[in-house]
Amino acid sequence: MNTEKRNLVLDLHRIGALKFGEFKLKSGARSPFYIDLRSIISYPEIIKNIVGLLKAELADKQFDVITGIPYTALPLAAQVSVEMNVPLVYQRKEAKAYGTGKLIEGHFEKGQTCLIIDDLITTGESKFEAAEGMVQAGLKVKDFVCLIDRSYNGAEILKTKGYDLQSIITVEDMLTVLGEEGKLDDDLAQKVREFVGTPVEKPQLSFNQRMRSTESPMTLKLMETMLRKQSNLVLSLDVEGVNDFFDILEKTGPEIFMVKTHVDILEEFRGDFVPRLKALAEKHDFIIFEDRKFADIGSTVRKQFRSGEFKISEWAEYVTVHMIAGEAILDGLFGDLDVPRAGFLLARMSAKGNLISENYTRQVLDIGKRRQDCVAGYIGHGANIDDIQRFKAKIPQNQLLLMPGVNLDTKGDGLGQQYLSVEDAIAGGADAIIVGRGIVASDDPAAQAKRYREAAWNAFKAKIN
């Protein structure tokens, strides 16, 4: 480690930007150290040193514009921009509500490459969000440079989306320098090493532990049914004919723990539809889930859920909900209802080119986590196992991830649907798979349902044990 880096560690420690002891993190976890670089702007000498280190790191990289993630890294990037004569851009925290409404400030051309500077990397999440904003604005992103890497495997995580990460100093560098200078004792340094050596993801709980930590009866009901039926297969029964509907459901009922309907696809919705559906659900012990994808203001969705021809709330215990209209949709749907009902929030979609962003997904998960009273889990998808795992790590373990867009025999349907294999879906972290045409469009739905159930349940069992 060169003198500049050693000095940086010592300076940061001296000004209290690196602290050791016991700290409670936002997540509730306890950490033996704490890094807060916000105050460095008040120390021009330290900034000068950092900018020198950044310039050395950037010397061999290709980029047309540069940015720093607000707030801490933005003044650093500004200084680097001036000294290296590279234009600066930056991303607003919120899009402007008036004027141009643009998210990125500064002049650039579409197709240019933007290098992103940040102060710290822990999970990589804020890096993905920053990159996404730049990419949406037409810039390319390849390299990230962080001042301090305090992550377990940040570079690997960024690599899952093709980004390269360079860091100026690591936690190990800090421990070495401070140890050598007599500013940190060995025990504390060891605690920090152990802490950082623990992946940021929470330890994976067993399914039983997850059930014990689930307070919502509606989520528990799903988990119990899965275990009782030894199935994590949801049948997506999108057929027009009522006779076909019941014929397939009678044959596949033993294999599934839940049926997902699109009731508005049926050619006729006769008076006996609901009693017949409920009778079959009782006979084969499965749950009824209507994929209505509510998306309007609270007052409207309340009527859509409870009134009209279908009176969905009377027979579907679970429904899907888009969060585009904000949290009040949950009160509209589930408030003042005399039967227990819950929703699955659409956190990610399987459709090609869908407009859901990382940022949107995170906000959906934030709401769902707060509203476990009426949110049983999420509908999600991903490009590959790594991508799904990263998404799954953000979902509370006492809620469920259901994954549509699963097919064992084909990759797509020519209308934008993108399929994953059962193995990839479960390995990524899906708790249950939703399968439609893989079963419904076959000549032998019963045999296909068995095939999907076995593949999904075996993969799931191997994982949860």
Structure tokens belonging to residue 226 = 């899965």
Report d(CA 48, CA 119) in Å as an integer.
15
Catalytic residue among 183, 221, 251, 293: 293
Give the shortest CB-433-to-ligand 5BU separation in angstroms.
9
Least spacing, CB of residue 265 vs ligand 5BU, in Å:
9
Return the C-alpha torsion angle 188, 193, 197, 199, nearest 10.
50
Q: Which member of 132, 238, 285, 296 binds ligand 5BU (CB under 6 A)? A: 238
Nearer to ligand 5BU, 154 or 438 (CB): 438
Residue nearest to ligand 5BU according to CB distances in the complex: 436
Out of 32, 154, 396, 404, point to the residue binding ligand 5BU (CB under 6 A): 404
418 binds ligand 5BU (CB under 6 A): no
| Residue 417 beta carbon to ligand 5BU: minimum distance, rounded to whole angstroms | 5
Neighbours of 176 (CB within 10 A): 17
Binding flag, residue 417, ligand 5BU (CB under 6 A):
yes
The interface region with ligand 5BU, picked from 140-148, 347-355, 360-368, 391-399 by CB under 6 A, is 347-355
Considering only the stretches 41-49, 107-115, 132-140, 431-439, report the one whose residues sit in contact with ligand 5BU under the rule CB under 6 A.
Answer: 431-439
CA-based nearest residue to 103, from 87, 91, 88: 91
Q: Supply 425's token pair.
A: 């879906």
161 is catalytic: no
Do strands 164-170 and 140-149 pair parallel, antiparallel, or not at all (unpaired)?
parallel
Q: Residue 333 CB, nearest distance to ligand 5BU (Å)? A: 16
Examine residue 252 and tell whether it contacts ligand 5BU (CB under 6 A). Answer: no
| 160 and 390 Cβ atoms separated by less than 8 Å | yes
Query: Considering the rule CB under 6 A, would residue 377 count as an interface residue with ligand 5BU?
Result: no
Q: Does 379 bind ligand 5BU (CB under 6 A)?
A: yes
Q: Is residue 389 within 8 Å of 428, Cβ to Cβ? A: yes
Of 2-10, 61-69, 172-180, 430-438, the segment contacting ligand 5BU by CB under 6 A is 430-438
Alpha-carbon distance of 238 to 57, in angstroms, equals 55
Place of tokens 């990230």: 144
* CB of 148 vs ligand 5BU, minimal distance in Å: 38
Select 31 or 236, whichever has its Cβ closest to ligand 5BU: 236
Q: Where are the alpha helices (DSSP H) in 357-417?
A: 358-370, 385-392
Identify whether the C-beta of residue 238 lies closer than 8 Å to the C-beta of residue 445. no
Q: Which stretch binds ligand 5BU (CB under 6 A): 36-44, 71-79, 120-128, 428-436?
A: 428-436
DSSP 120-152: EESSSHHHHHHHHHHHHTT-EEEEEEEEEE--S
Which stretch in 70-78, 185-193, 343-351, 391-399 sits in contact with ligand 5BU by CB under 6 A? 343-351
Q: What is the C-alpha to C-alpha distance for residues 78 and 74, in angstroms, rounded to an integer? A: 6
| Separation of alpha carbons 161 and 299, rounded Å | 40
**Catalytic residue set:** 293
Residues that bind ligand 5BU (CB under 6 A): 236, 238, 262, 291, 346, 349-351, 379, 381, 404-405, 417, 434-438
